Amino acid sequence: MQNQTSPLLQRLADVPVIPVLEFHSVDEALHVSEALVTGGLPLLEITLRTPVALEAIKAVAAALPQACVGAGTVLNVEQLHAVRDAGAQFAVSPGLTPALAEGAQGAGISLLPGVATASEAMAALEAGFTFLKFFPAQAAGGVPMLKSLGGPLPQLRFCPTGGIDAALAPTYLALPNVVCVGGSWVVPKDAVASGDWGRIRTLAEQARALRNKR
């Protein structure tokens, strides 16, 4: 079966962090996304946790063609199609259902499905996915769990997300089966509230530099 995430995996070759974003207005989405992209983080995960999420995806994709806009918290095929139609180039799910796995086949959008156990990872692999989100990373065993999965499942690559901050990120990125990490620390809520886009850009630059330390 074709690996549904191979194009996404290729794009992540030198991007260590995917910002996990929750926007409450399109204006906020545009400012934050521009700061992140300028700071060197062009892959953005805009989560479907607010009413403006689809509108934000559409606006950012149109305004920042140099970005690779993705959608997070995609739970079903209907949402997968909706984010694709809004301009998202990849979708991220906290888990994987048979319906979502089947719906991703030929959907025209890369899916990064979430797993937390060896059985879930095996099921995702059976469905044709070799690049997976490890979620919730810290709660599901963190670095030791990913090390353990690397033995029996060496063909899998992961993007751990959940509870990861700037201090923990390098430890995850040092693992051979970790391609990148997802995190929201690059977009502090107080920086967004005060419109401090420069601070967000600086945090993005620091996160981008983590790739050079691997």
Catalytic residue among 22, 28, 58, 133: 133
Q: How far is CA 15 from CA 9, 12, 144, 175, 214, in A?
A: 10, 5, 23, 15, 12
The set of residues, in sequence order, having a beta carbon less than 8 Å from that of 77 and lying 6+ positions away, is 99, 100, 103, 104, 107
Residues β-bridged to residue 44: 69
Catalytic residue among 22, 28, 45, 58: 45
> How far is residue 122's CA from residue 132's CA, in Å, rounded to a whole number?
11
Q: Name the nearest CA neighbour of 67 among 107, 33, 102.
A: 33
Q: Name the nearest CA neighbour of 129 among 161, 105, 162.
A: 105
**Residue with structure tokens 């937390």?**
116
Q: How far is CA 46 from CA 95, 106, 126, 184, 207, in A?
A: 17, 22, 28, 11, 18
Q: Is 133 a catalytic residue?
A: yes
Phi, psi of 146 (to 5 degrees): -65, -35
Q: Is 102 a catalytic residue?
A: no
Q: Which residues are catalytic?
A: 45, 133
